[in-house]
């Protein structure tokens, strides 16, 4: 089966990670397998190394709901609509 591109990926997310399923054309798979074999690695391990490399993966800082709410409230301080009302802004949008 030939694909219009050399490969395509299917992404799916789980609670802990994102799963990436890569479909390669046979020629590209064979080339990568040869490269992996030359380095004494399994194909899957070689592809992961090529994708991730030696850079550490930074995880997003997990915050509690309360911390997120406090952060939003802190950002709101000093921000206002300069005397406008939400209704005025909605009405303004209706003109266009």
The domain ranges of the chain are: 7-94
Using CA atoms, how far apart are residues 68 and 92, in angstroms rounded to an integer?
31
- Residue 56: is its pLDDT beyond 70? no
The pLDDT of residue 18: 78
- pLDDT for the residue 19: 80
| 54 phi-psi bin (left φ>0, alpha ψ -120 to 50, beta other) | alpha
pLDDT of residue 2: 45
17/12 Cα distance (integer angstroms): 9
Average pLDDT over residues 15-26: 81
Overall size of the chain counted in residues? 96
Residue 57 has pLDDT above 70, yes or no: no
Q: How confident is the model at residue 53 (pLDDT cuts 50, 70, 90)?
A: confident
What is the rounded CA–CA span in Å between residue 42 and residue 49? 11
């Amino acid at each position: 089966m030939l694909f219009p591109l050399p490969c395509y990926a299917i992404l799916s997310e789980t609670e802990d990670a994102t799963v990436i399923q890569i479909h390669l054309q046979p020629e590209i798979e064979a080339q990568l397998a040869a490269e992996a074999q030359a380095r004494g690695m399994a194909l899957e391990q070689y592809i992961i190394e090529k994708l991730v490399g030696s850079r550490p993966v930074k995880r997003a800082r997990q915050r509690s709901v309360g911390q997120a709410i406090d952060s939003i409230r802190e950002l709101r301080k000093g921000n206002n609509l300069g005397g406008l009302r939400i209704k005025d802004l909605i009405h303004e949008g209706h003109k266009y």
